[in-house]
Each structure stands twice: as C-alpha cells, then as structure tokens.
Structure 1
Amino acid sequence: MGWFPCSGQSKDKLGKKNRSLDPVEPSSGKPGDASKDGSSNKIAARTFTFREMAAATKNFRGESFIGEGGFGRVYKGQLEGTSQAVAIKQLDRNGLQGNREFLVEVLMLSLLDHPNLVNLIGYCADGDQRLLVYEYMELGSLEDHLHDPMPDKAILDWNTRMKIAAGAARGLEYLHDKASPPVIYRDLKCSNILLGEGYHPMLSDFGLAKLGPVGDNTHVSTRVMGTYGYCAPEYAMTGQLTLKSDVYSFGVVLLEIISGRKAVDNSKSGNEHNLVVWARPLFKDKRKFPQIADPVLQGQYPTRGLYQALAIAAMCVQEQPNLRPMIADVVTALTYLSSQKYDSETQPAQNPLWKPCTPPRTKGKGDKKRIDGSVGPRREQTDNRF
C-alpha cells in the first residue's frame, strides 16, 4: 500500500441538474440542443476580472489566506456589492497543477449540480491569472474536524459522522449514476469533503476528475493521479481507472470517519502507517471491531452500527475491484445507518476496548489531517501530486 505515487492533500475551505458533460455535443448528439430537462449545456459560471479578485481578498493579504494545496493558495474573500463570503483558489503558476486542471474544474462544476457537490460561483482567466471562486464553507473540511480539531470545538459524534458519510456517498453516486457520461472523481479524500451548515457534506476539487467509460469499455486508461493512501491498488499498478476506483477511495474515507486515523500517518511505523493495512486484519474478528473505533468517541456509538459501518468499509477496500459494491448500494446502507440515531442518554457507552489500541489525539505542531457511514486553521502544504 505504500508503493504508488499519488497526489497530496489540498487544504481548501470552500447542485445543477443532470445534463451532458460534453459542452460541444450534448447527449442528443446535436450541438446546441438542450438536454432532456430543458437546460442548455452552456457554462453557467460567472467570469471575474483579476481586479475583482484582488478587491475581494484585499489584495490577497495574509489575513485573507486560509489554506494551500496542489492547486495553489486559497483566500477568503467578499465579492464587491454583495455580502457573500467566498473561497478563492489562486493557481500557483509554478505549482504541480496547471491550466488543464483549471479547465476541468470549471467544466465539471459548471455542468454538474447536486446538493452534495460544492457550488462553483465563477472563475477568473485574466491574462496569465487563473482563479476559482467557490461558496465559502465556514466549517472547513472533514479533515479539519477529524485530524486538526480546534481545542474549543466539539468532536464529531457518531450521528454526525454517519450523516457526513452518507452525504458524501450520495455526491459520489450522482457522479457515477446520474451524470452522463459518468464521472470518476479520482481524488476523494477527507480534505476534499467540505462541510456546510449543519455539517452538510459537499465534494470539492474536481481538477483530477475524468469522464468514465462508456459503451463496451470497462475502464479509461490515464496517468496515475490521486492521493497516496486513497488510490485503488489496481489503478496505481495499471493506470486503468474505473468507477470502482472511487469506491475504494470512499472506503478509505469511511475508515477515517470511523477510526479517526489518517489514511497514511507518517508518525506511525509498520502496519499502522497505512490505515487499510492496519484495519484489514481487524476486519476478520468482530471482537476487535471496538479497537477500530475513534478513541475520542469514548465508546459512545451503537455496537450494531459500528459493525455495519465497518462491514461497508471492508467491502469498499477489497483489493479486487469486482468484489467492491456499487456506490448506489453503499448509499442505501449508509442512508439507513444515518437514520439510526445513537442517543448517549438512553444507550450505554461501549466497553472502552479502544484504550490500548489508539491513544486519544492531541493537537500538536505539524499534526494535520477515519471508514463507514456517520459523520481551519492555516496549515503547511504537504503535496505529493505529480
């Protein structure tokens, strides 16, 4: 699990009807035709000048800076004449991502629309400047809450974790089953799941997304890109990308949600370095399931819910892609799990078998950034994208 190069974690704080993703030739095959729902395929994102971007961020001052990732630096801003807060990503012209990822992001988010996909407000392509403007997400990313919790913030309880997992799965289901042609996200990870009001999850950062196979094709062949620890093993080895590649990545995210551990933790050695490698032996014995649960939950989760969530995660991270479930089945299972609320007042906490397995986390310098179905601060860049 530690042998394939993939991209690093972007740290950004950042709905459109089902329509064809080909802006030149819609699903009817006739350029200019409207899609079945009556909407056109014209890109709806607003265009901005660089002057407007500078004004929104107060000339990109330090106090507006909120994060940095593979794309570049991210700033919080306010558009002139409105009270709307936005997140503005500025392409690093010397960075690892470039114009292609910028164009893919604009295209995908302009033509896709779902409550669990981030809202792209507009973009700037003024001279050699490339910027993306998103709805600002005050709660930051799932990564912020799992791996970079602020001392004064409450931990994510079991019900919230399942809610986030189910919502993220629904966003992925939309890409796989509702978009035409299907979209392979290719970069699903905790830092790309942004949280809106009420911890509503939204998938973000579509610069690596690819149109999926159509017709008799079973996969698309492409350069291996993604994030180390989240990449499906068959994709990392062959470059053959399928919808099941995303399902594997989702399984890793679900494990992070359940366990509170990072997909890859460089502070740990041996099998504990990689979350999936560490968890797989524990999947074989139900008596060890409580050892996987996040210690900060202090046993406050339903035993049956934990077992079911881990069962979903274990299926998603199967090494053989044909053994992984379809994302629609994952959504069904997680929707049910998220509806089964855990009440700490009436349901006892589980026996804290987690104590010797994973010590409670404390936020420390350099500590940055869990798999099943419940559900910032400024950080340094750790990007392995190539």
Structure 2
Amino acid sequence: MEPTRATSSTSGSARPPVVVLYDDRPDGLTGLKLAALSLRSTSPGLDVRAIVPGAGETFRAWASANGVTLVEPPRTLHATGWDVKPTVLLHLLDTGADPVLWFDTDIVATRDIRALLAPHAPEVLIAAEEYFWGYHQGSPARTTTLGLDVGRVLPRSLNSGVLRVSSVHRPLLEAWARVLASPAYTAAQDAPIPRRPIAYLGDQEVLGGLLGSRTHADVPLVQLRRGVDIAQCFGPSGFTVAERWAARDRLPALVHAMGRKPWNRPEAGRGGPGRRLATWWEQVHLDLTPYVEAARPHLDGLDEPIDWVGPLTRSGRLLARIGSPALRELPLVLVDTSQRGMRRALGIRQVPAEAAPSAARGQPR
C-alpha cells in the first residue's frame, strides 16, 4: 500500500482521525448503527461522529448511549446521499477535526482500522480500491471526461466508501464539491446508469477523475486493497473467488455491503417467474454475504428488530453449513462471475467511457 506519489513525509505514524458517519435515509440508520458499533468495539478510543439530518429522539438517545457524537448538518449542505461527502468533510475540517475519515454506513470493521491508517502521514489521502467488476479500471476516461489534462492513471478505480483526508486536501475537496454541484453532473444523475458518462457515474468517479488530473496528480494516494483490507461485497462476485479463498481463514478488516442491504430484503413471491427467480437469488445472497457474519457480534447493540438476519432461505441454510464466511457463497459467486464476464465481453449494460461533447465543457478545475 505505497502512495502513488512519494513525498518526503510519508513515514511515521499519523494521528487517529475523527470518523464521520452520514446518512439521510430512514432505512440507512441500521447500517449506521452497525458501523458505529463495530468501530467502538474494534477501534476503542476513536472519536466517532454522526450526521443524520432530521434525527429523531430515539436515534439521538441511541447515539448518546453508545458514545457516538451527533453533529448537526452544516448549513452549506445542499446535496443528498453520497454527494454530500466533500461538503461534510470540509465542514469537519472547519470545526478543527484533522484528519477526518469518512466511513460509509454499509461498512463494518472486523478489527482495529488504525492499523490500516497509521503508517501513512496526514498528507496521504487514503481511499479504497473499487470492486473487481467496476467499469473502466486503469483508464484515464474519468479525467478526460471532466475535460481535464491527465497527470496520472490509477491502475485501480477509486472507491470512496472509506476516505481519509486532512487540511492539505482542501483544494481537492473544494474542486470535488464544485463538480458535484455542476449542471453536467446533476443532469447525468437523472439518466440510467448505462447512459451516464463514466466521470459522472457517481461521486467517487468524479474524485478519481480529479486525482488523475494534472492539477491534483501530486496528491499522494494510498488505496486499501480489495479482498485484503476491504471486502467489496457488491453482489456475490464483487468479493471474487480469489479474494474469498485468500480470506477463508479471516475476513478483511473492513466488509462493505454494496448494493442492496441485508436489512432491506426484497419481498419474495412477487411478479413473474423471472422476477421471482431474481428475488430468490438476492435473498440467498443476503443470507450468505460476509457482511452479516461481520456484523453479527454487534446485533444486540442495535436496539431494534433483527428479523432480517438469515439464513432465511432453505438454500441459505444449507450453504451456511460451510465453516468459512468467505466461502459459503461460492456457488453463487461462480454463476455471478460467469454472467458478469459475459456482459462485459458483449458490452451489455456497460457504462460508456466517453462523454457527449457538451458534457465535458466548463468543468471546475
């Protein structure tokens, strides 16, 4: 995990960050609680803060009882979802927190995360690698689609589910916020995913494009390794066969429930045969995802129903007999790998690399 650009101060131990959790979805609070509980358990002493717009008294009481500091949303917050990341991070820096770690609310920690962060000085930006099937890995398209000159090409796309920044990253965060507020980005979010230019697929694509630009190419960057430091569980094959085999004895330090969340299961028995099959498939996946196993030690602290915890399907109960949480889902992984590989080879539902001519003009630098 060496920085992509070395600096004279990348050695030594960085001080622990302030961790910020954010969610503005009512059904996202289960994940936020699990993220916080896992951090309080595995990384004791970390300053964990949460921003929950419109938080009710029940959640406020839970946060107080579990050592989570509830922070009011910044007045500058005009976006929703993950597009708030640069605004939230800048707000925390403004209040004196430095460094700050953004931690997605669908991630749980299985051991102390400070071991992943401490070797890198504060000027090193820390993110994660995108899951294996992410679009256009190792391509400058994210940068060129923003209309920027290429300064470097990241060999693996960036995942911003975990993101450590410090005050030296203000120019990058401000540029990120400007692009996320731009008309081109806003318009792209209204289009189906396969029709979005790669740079406007989501917030992390914009950040990856900026980091690849000549303007920000000197920002030292470390990406947590997928399958080693973080399990990117996007469907069965997001956490690949090879990654699962390497993690058969111990899951990575971070487990990320990308896509549908286990506490938001699809309703079974609805629709035609194809829809029922897809629902069954997703139910089995949610029975067996390593995220549930990683979250299991913290379920009692949720103080809410946990009827979503499986296995709830007959197939899930059968495969759950496999001892290793990383290997229980292998039959699904093999099938999912085959169909994803075929879709990639045939160009089915893939995100275009290039933008329409009007989309790349006038982007903030």
Q: Tell me the TM-score normalized by structure 2.
A: 0.30
Q: Tell me the TM-score normalized by structure 1.
A: 0.29
